[in-house]
Amino acid sequence: KQEVTQIPAALSVPEGENLVLNCSFTDSAIYNLQWFRQDPGKGLTSLLLIQSSQREQTSGRLNASLDKSSGRSTLYIAASQPGDSATYLCAVYTGANSKLTFGKGITLSVRP
Amino acid sequence: DTGVSQDPRHKITKRGQNVTFRCDPISEHNRLYWYRQTLGQGPEFLTYFQNEAQLEKSRLLSDRFSAERPKGSFSTLEIQRTEQGDSAMYLCASSSTGGFEQFFGPGTRLTVL
């Protein structure tokens, strides 16, 4: 059974700091990996999708990497801003039906 | 707006009542997924449709839950005899065949009193 772990559960940083969010998964037989952002009480916003054949994806200040063999992914946020405060969820696509298995998320707070 | 939509956005009900949620996927997306998210947890898979066929159901989907996608377009999720433990955010997502990326709706927040 696939399990996705995100540690720590919460993180508080000062504005402007570069930071790395970690994600690990137990079964390396994944199709793709996706990072989401979730604001309190809201749905999920897709940030980056990394296909299994890729090593990384970039969008603006965000960069996500994938190492399937070690079962790890990282989300790098450059020059963090208070508007980045949210919960960041990592999810992997597994199985023939491509359902997503999520971690519990990392709640990020960026202090002005 | 061509994104995934869900209705209602919020639902408050009393224990024992039945509730029904609706999801409208992105047009021409033939895959549709339901997930449930409780406080402090990541979303958990409930069920999956390919067109109108329900191809997978999680063990989380007890006999009180039923989902349909009658014409391969919108989907409904019904919970019968609601319990306080059913209180959660119910999320719907859709994707196209051959494309893995799932696009999520805003969710329906259910509160069972």
Predicted confidence at residue A83, as pLDDT, reads 97
With tokens 């990592």, the residue in question is: A90
What per-residue confidence (pLDDT) applies to B62?
87
Average pLDDT score over residue span A9-38: 94
The reply to whether residue B103 touches residue A4, judged by beta carbons under 8 angstroms, is: no
CB contact B1 to A (< 8 Å): no
> What's the gap in Å between the CA of A42 and the closest CA on chain B?
6
Query: How would DSSP label each residue in A46-80?
Result: EEEEEETT-SEEEETTEEEEEETTTTEEEEEE-S-
Per-chain mean pLDDT for chain A: 94
Under a CB-based contact definition with an 8 Å cutoff, are residues A85 and A108 in contact? yes
Question: Which one of B57, B102, B110 makes the best mutation probe of the A interface by having the most chain A beta carbons within 10 Å?
Answer: B102
Q: How far is residue A7's CA from residue A72's CA, in Å, rounded to a whole number?
A: 12
Residues of chain B with pLDDT under 50: none
| Residues B19, B12: Cα–Cα separation, whole Å | 9
Mean pLDDT along residues A31-39:
94
Quote the CA–CA distance of B67 and B104 in Å, as a whole number. 17
pLDDT score, position B1 = 54
Q: Give yes or no for residue A13 having a pLDDT over 70.
A: yes
Q: How far apart are CA B19 and CA A10, in angstroms?
A: 34
Other CB atoms closer than 10 Å to residue B107's CB: what's the count?
Answer: 26
Beta strand A106-111 with A10-14 is parallel
- Residue A33's pLDDT band, with cuts at 50, 70 and 90, is very high
Question: Which pLDDT belongs to residue B38?
Answer: 95
| Beta bridge partners of residue A35, listed in sequence order | A48, A90
Residues B103 and B72: their CA atoms lie apart, in Å, by 17
Nearest-Cα distance to chain B for A83, in Å, is: 19
CB contact under 8 A, B55 and A97: yes
Cβ contacts of A36 on chain B, cutoff 8 Å: 104
Nearest alpha carbon to residue A46 among B103, B79, B109:
B103
pLDDT tens by residue, A40-86: 988 999 999 998 888 999 999 999 999 999 999 999 999 999 999 99
Pick the residue from chain B with its C-alpha nearest to A32. B100
Task: Say whether B45 and A101 touch across the interface (CB within 8 A).
Answer: yes
